[in-house]
Structure formats: structure tokens, C-alpha cells
């Protein structure tokens, strides 16, 4: 749960209330990560408090409603240290909308359809690379945000490599081999055939 740990990391620096944490997170990671939904942040804070990883103290304000200031606990620091000591693992498998589109076009057995899917993806990725170059120039003042932009660029370049591999490997002959032949008999017939003695 990386967002939970990111919140713990921010609270390890200093106690903060919800909107302060949202601002600190967005400033720390820049635009590439995307904004942090305040409702989701409050769910994270509730869970961290329930798990004993943070304490929360209500502070009255003269004009505005009371605010809740959150502090990391000893257990929270131990959990943050444990998380930082482990390598980051990718989730198992390769789940990607583009891969599913390639699979669908390959199953259709239509080289023109597959070529169009690959061409559109290449244009999209090249456009993304151009916008990342602009984002990298804007992020020069923050080495952490610049690193995130670099990571995004590397991922896009790897995705371009997948497009290259698809263009190279999914030839018309390979597509023909992938096609599942249409069934010529119903399931009852094929079951009967399999169960009848030879």
C-alpha cells in the first residue's frame, strides 16, 4: 500500500492535517503522479489511525471548524522503516489495455487492423514522450520530480519496444497460426464423440 507509506513518510517529517498532507504530497511528487484525492487521503488516515500507525489530535480554530492534526507513532515509524527496507516488487503478470487490444486484433487475424492498433499506439507514445520532455524541463528544480519524469520516459520507451516487437513478431503467418478454428459441431456432439468407445 504505497500511498499509506507515503503518508507515513510525510508525517515522519512533521505532524500535519489533511489538506496540508495533500499539498505536501503533490509538491513532493509533481504532476506525473497525479493529484491525491482528499476523500481517499482521509480514508488512508482513518486506516492508519485504526492500525495504530498515527495518532490524531483535534485542534480548535477561531473561525473555521476544528482540524485534525496527525502524528506518526512509534509503530508507524517501525512500519515505515520496514517498508523502506524491502525492495519494490511489481504486481504479478502483465495487465495492460494495449496488450488486450493487440490480442483482440491478433485473434481477428486481420493484419490491417493490427497495424492500425500498433500505429495509433506508437503515435500516442511519441506524443507522450514529447510532453514528458517538456515536463522534465519544468521539473529541473526538484530532483525527485525529475526522477519521476525520467521513470515515466523509460516506461514509455519500453512500451515503444513492445510496439516494435509486435510489428516484428506478429506477421500475417503468425496471425494465421493464432486463429482458433471455428467449431463445426455443437458441444453435445463433441462430448458424445469423446465419450464413445474407439
What digits encode the pLDDT tens for the residues 147-184?
888 898 999 999 999 999 999 988 777 666 655 555 55
Is the pLDDT at 191 greater than 90? The verdict is no
Grid coordinates representing 180 are 482458433
In a domain, 198, yes or no: no
Is residue 180 within 8 Å of residue 107, measured between CB atoms?
yes
Residues 11 and 62 in one domain: yes
State residue 1's pLDDT score. Answer: 52
| pLDDT at residue 99 in the model | 81
Residue 71 in domain: yes
| Tally of CA atoms within 13 A in the half-sphere of 59 that contains its CB | 12
Worst-scoring range by mean pLDDT, 62-76, 115-129, 132-146, 165-179?
165-179
pLDDT at 187 over 90: no
The answer to the question of residue 150 being in a domain is yes
User: Do 105 and 53 fall within a single domain?
Assistant: no
The pLDDT assigned to 79 comes to 93
Average pLDDT over residues 6-28: 89
Average pLDDT over residues 112-133: 91
pLDDT at 26: 83
Q: Are residues 128 and 70 in the same domain?
A: no
| Least confidently predicted of 4-13, 24-33, 164-173 | 24-33
**Which of 12-16, 24-28, 64-68 is most confident?**
12-16
Residue 7: give the domain boundaries.
Answer: 2-85
- C-alpha 152/C-alpha 33 separation (Å) is 10
Q: How far is CA 76 from CA 18, 38, 59, 89, 115, in A?
A: 17, 21, 21, 21, 51
- For residue 134, the model assigns a pLDDT of 82
Residues 74 and 107 in one domain: no
Domain assignment of residue 194, yes or no? no
- C-alpha separations of 57 from 1, 12, 66, 70 in Å: 24, 16, 10, 6
Q: Are residues 81 and 6 in the same domain?
A: yes
Residue 93's pLDDT is 62
Based on the fold, state whether residues 36 and 102 are members of the same structural domain: no
How far out from the chain centre does Cα 48 lie? 22
Closest C-alpha among 132, 176, 192 to residue 157: 132
Amino acid at each position: 500500500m504505497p500511498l499509506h507509506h507515503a503518508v507515513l513518510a510525510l508525517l515522519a517529517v512533521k505532524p500535519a492535517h489533511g489538506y496540508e498532507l495533500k499539498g505536501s504530497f503533490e509538491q513532493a511528487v509533481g504532476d506525473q503522479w497525479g493529484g491525491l484525492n482528499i476523500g481517499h487521503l482521509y480514508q488512508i488516515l482513518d486506516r492508519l489511525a485504526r492500525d495504530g500507525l498515527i495518532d490524531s489530535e483535534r485542534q480548535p480554530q477561531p473561525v473555521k471548524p476544528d482540524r485534525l492534526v496527525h502524528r506518526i507513532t512509534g509503530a508507524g515509524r517501525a512500519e515505515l522503516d520496514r517498508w523502506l527496507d524491502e525492495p519494490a516488487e511489481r504486481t504479478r503478470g502483465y495487465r495492460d489495455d494495449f496488450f488486450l487490444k493487440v490480442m483482440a486484433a491478433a485473434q481477428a487475424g486481420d493484419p490491417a487492423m493490427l497495424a492500425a492498433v500498433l500505429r495509433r499506439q506508437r503515435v500516442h507514445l511519441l506524443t507522450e514522450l514529447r510532453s514528458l520532455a517538456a515536463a522534465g524541463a519544468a521539473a529541473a528544480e526538484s530532483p525527485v520530480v525529475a526522477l519521476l519524469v525520467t521513470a515515466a520516459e523509460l516506461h514509455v520507451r519500453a512500451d515503444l519496444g513492445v510496439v516494435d516487437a509486435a510489428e516484428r513478431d506478429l506477421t500475417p503467418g503468425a496471425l494465421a497460426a493464432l486463429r482458433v478454428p471455428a467449431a463445426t459441431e455443437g458441444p453435445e456432439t463433441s462430448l458424445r464423440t469423446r465419450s464413445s468407445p474407439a
